[in-house]
Amino acid sequence: MKKAEILTLLTNLHVLREGHFLLTSGRHSDRFLLCSQLTMHPDSTELLIQELAPRVAALKPTVILGPAMGGVILAYELARALGCRAMFAEKDGEKMAMKRGFVLTEEDRVVIIEDAVSTGGSIRKVVDVVQQSPSTLVGVAALFDRTAGQVQFEGVPFISLMEIEITSYEPDQCPLCQANHPLVKPKS
């Protein structure tokens, strides 16, 4: 798929939204990615994961590991495409942890997947989980890179479907506030 086709799909499914959004950081933006609106459609999710899968296959993973919630369905779908296992890590206080009987062994080659990467904070917490296990981290994948290719993880390849730039503003410098556009909390 071409980038324009993916953007059209994301817009039509209301994954990529335009408006005036309050981000969890407190900043305001004019676009927002709501990836739950993609995974609501298994066929479209499969389509985008199929675009990513050949590049992840080159890393020869045995486990795809996603942070909950955003990474759970994507890990499952990518693992299905590559014929390997899917696991997820979840919040455990300030850290992430693997619960529910998931175990990484020293034979495992792990790729972490997340829906969208902005600061990389949640992925780094999952990297810690992998590094505390006997397995090997071989890559990090995401559907959307919001860092313009600036983020890196522990020297392993970072593979994204596409870069999406979202401009954000401090509230007192936000042009949408100045134009009196109503502010929306996109996840509530």
Cβ pair 29, 169 in contact under 8 A? yes
Nearer of residues 17 and 80 to Zn ion, judged by Cβ:
17
Minimum distance from CB of 15 to Zn ion (Å)?
Answer: 22
For the bound state, the minimum distance from the C-beta of residue 174 to Zn ion, rounded and expressed in Å, comes to: 3
CA dist 159 and 53 (Å) reads 10
Pick between residue 21 and residue 158 the one whose CB is nearest to Zn ion: 21
Select 162 or 176, whichever has its Cβ closest to Zn ion: 176
Shortest distance (Å) from residue 176 CB to Zn ion: 4
Identify which of 86, 62, 57 has the alpha carbon closest to the alpha carbon of residue 74. Answer: 86
How buried is 24 (Cβ within 10 angstroms: 0-12 exposed, 13-18 middle, 19+ buried)?
exposed
Give 54 or 175: the residue with its C-beta nearer to Zn ion.
Answer: 175
Listed in sequence order, the residues at least 6 apart from 140 whose beta carbon sits closer than 8 Å to its beta carbon are: 111, 112, 113, 114, 123, 127, 153, 156, 157, 158, 159
Residue with smallest beta-carbon separation from Zn ion? 174
Give the footprint of Zn ion on this chain (CB under 5 A): 28, 174, 176-177
Q: How far is the CB of 173 from Zn ion (least distance, A)?
A: 9
